[in-house]
Structure 1
């Protein structure tokens, strides 16, 4: 990821995108985004890590990525790939508290969630 994507990241833009497209993107994408966002917000995370996260979240926010996001499932597959790659790269910065906060927010938005969906993300990245 590079600077052209990180310039599209802002917390306001991210929340706007999640509010508008979160249900369409699905719980796995939203959970991955939340993990990255809460890691980005952690004061103990290095600037280098935050730049990587900003680029990945900027890519998610950008409406003109590799595959159009208007198509459910397929449209967010490239986003999920970028998010998972970044989660793997920053995994050592993701605390149990961050994971719990992301899980709680995902449950607020989606209600009952099959725990395997969130575990799939955790198992692919941690």
Structure 2
């Protein structure tokens, strides 16, 4: 995946753009995660990122980066179709890895605790 493309995806954007991405992520995150769970090696970090991105205490820039990556993850059509199993999630993994590096240290223990609880029990629908 092209670094410029990843950079474009991870632009924090304006608050109105972030709100639109947050709505899309809230709607599609859990169903997409259920399909991907066996194909991504960092589900805990992904779910913690979801909680961090939706946390009003998270800095705006961090929220924007995470929402960009999560919105790409939940898109029904992306560079490599997700229905191709492991290969289909490779572009998502590249974007998410770049996002994790960009916000290093911003995902808090409380986000990981929520992720652990969500991954242990039945996953929410939305």
Q: With structure 2 as the length reference, what TM-score do the two structures score? A: 0.69
| Aligned partner (choices 17, 22, 34) of residue 32 of structure 2 | 17
Give the number of aligned pairs. 107
The answer (yes or no) to whether the contact 1:60–1:79 under 8 Å persists in 2 is yes
Partner of 1:47: 60
- Give the gaps of 5 or more residues in structure 1: 111-126
CA distance in 2 between partners of 1:72 and 1:10 (Å): 21
| Aligned partner (choices 68, 76, 86) of residue 63 of structure 1 | 76
The answer (yes or no) to whether the contact 2:36–2:89 under 8 Å persists in 1 is no
SS of equivalent residue, structure 2 residue 76: coil
SS of equivalent residue, structure 1 residue 37: helix
Q: With structure 1 as the length reference, what TM-score do the two structures score? A: 0.69
For residues 19-38 of structure 1, the aligned pairs below 5 Å read 19=34, 21-26=35-40, 28-38=41-51
Please, what is the CA RMSD of the aligned residues?
2.6
The answer (yes or no) to whether the contact 2:45–2:112 under 8 Å persists in 1 is no
Per-residue deviation, 1:15 = 2.3
CA distance in 1 between partners of 2:51 and 2:57 (Å): 11
Which has the larger share of helix?
A: 1
Per-residue deviation, 1:104 = 2.9
CA distance in 2 between partners of 1:31 and 1:70 (Å): 22
Per-residue deviation, 1:106 = 2.2
